[in-house]
Structure 1
């Protein structure tokens, strides 16, 4: 259990650092009108989904 929590913590740390450096990718939707800003990170969501799918696939293969 402890080893799994450490691995999950490392994964969250890496995802946080990647999220910080990626920021807003081309293809993310941003609407600005007056004082209102709407940001929908569709490309960022797809990239994160693919990365997590690969990670969970690799973890599943070793179980």
Structure 2
């Protein structure tokens, strides 16, 4: 068994679960602050027709990408 084997995999799964849980809590909290308008930014496309609904959060995706890129860049500079 390679070094870190199942223990390393277990740690990675726990970390992934923690990240997903934190993201869920942040989404719940974001709903309570209507001023954030996350998911309804300019650039988000929404099309509604009879029996059809399409939502493409392009503006939200760009903002989240920039924020996550900056956050990961800052965390990477520490190491």
Answer whether TM exceeds 0.5 for this pair.
yes
User: 1:34 aligned to 2:45?
Assistant: no
Secondary structure of residue in 2 paired with 1:51: helix
Secondary structure of residue in 1 paired with 2:42: coil
For residue 23 of structure 1, report the CA deviation from its aligned partner.
2.8
Q: How many residues align?
A: 58
Q: CA RMSD in A?
A: 2.6
Q: Tell me: higher relative CO, structure 1 or 2? Use CA pairs within 8 A at least 6 residues apart.
A: 1
User: Hey, which bits of structure 1, 4+ residues long, moved more than 3 A?
Assistant: 8-11
Give TM-score scaled by structure 2 length. 0.57
Flag structure 2 segments of 5+ consecutive residues without an equivalent: 1-10
| Rg larger for | 2
Give TM-score scaled by structure 1 length. 0.68
